[in-house]
A and B are shown apart, each in its own frame.
Chain A
């Protein structure tokens, strides 16, 4: 094996090692792991609506109310409450509105269902449209066809440009 072939082999080995390292790092970072309390607080507060903001989550809002809501979540997590219990505490005071993702088992489920229903109806209309052949133009009566042929023949005989009569 020549020195050049050795160098190529080493370079390939380095590339393979690099790729394997990247795959291992990605897999390691994405591995399922036990959620820390801080991560749990972040997850819960990112699903709660800040009550004084315009569409911001508690996690993302700098408002004082959001800070106090976050503090309450931190305390409830430390007390060992479940996610559901924590969210339900806010829902009891503010209704489903306080949850950024509306629950499926209430009136707010319409938010999820209406787009799906609209998509299904639209799909059905499109499917029907594709299956139905385009309407054919009605056939001209034989008398009209004969008159037209006669006129074309006459104009060809006279070598006149074709004109349209109203």
Chain B
């Protein structure tokens, strides 16, 4: 086998190993593609409790935790106690929680909210447009939006307390700097 061909084969295998190594190092729950690092999309959606429209205009000096959920979503129920605890911890602070109902009926969503102690504002994304604008793959998904209106991070799947608090505190630390 000629020397140059051996070099090509070795280089090809080395490139494959590097690509695989980089891929395995990535956290599948922390997809960097799409909207992370970009300005969050503004939206206006009807509140589930029927009290009118909720408008999100990112960049309004608050940290926003945006959680996409549905009543039929089992992992959403699993993560809900964490969301309730952390919401109570930051209630009245510079952190705002918003729940976005995804591919669900408003009635089922409202029942879920009432049955599971969700007291933060919840809205209905009935056509999935807001979910598309944030790049939602499947629920639950949680987005961390900084006071500058930029999406600082996203978490795919049920979120745990440490990840949620760390995401919020990282943004608060950035604000304090």
Contacts and interface: CB of A to CB of B under 8 A. Distances in A.
Interface of A: 51-52, 64-65, 68-69, 71-72, 90, 92-95, 97, 121, 125, 128
A92 B135 CA distance: 8
Interface residues of B, number: 18
A147 B61 CA distance: 100
B5 interface: yes
A52 B33 contact: no
Interface of B: 2, 5, 8, 33-35, 38, 103, 127-129, 132-138
Nearest to B135: A93
B33 A97 contact: yes
Mostly, the A contact residues are helix
A68 B132 contact: yes
Contacts of A97: 33
Contacts of A51: 136-138
A90 B135 CA distance: 8
B49 to A, nearest CB: 24
B103 A65 contact: yes
Given A92-B34, A92-B35, A72 B129 contact: yes
B150 to A, nearest CB: 14
Given A65-B103, A95-B34, A97-B33, A90 B137 contact: no
Nearest to A97: B33
A94 B129 contact: no
Contact of A52 (B2, B133, B137): B137
A-B pairs, 4 with minimum CB distance:
A95-B33, A93-B135, A68-B128, A95-B34
A71 B127 CA distance: 9
Contacts of A90: 132
Nearest to A68: B128
Contacts of B5: 125
A93 B132 contact: yes
B151 to A, nearest CB: 11
Contacts of B132: 68-69, 72, 90, 93
A53 to B, nearest CB: 11
B76 to A, nearest CB: 15
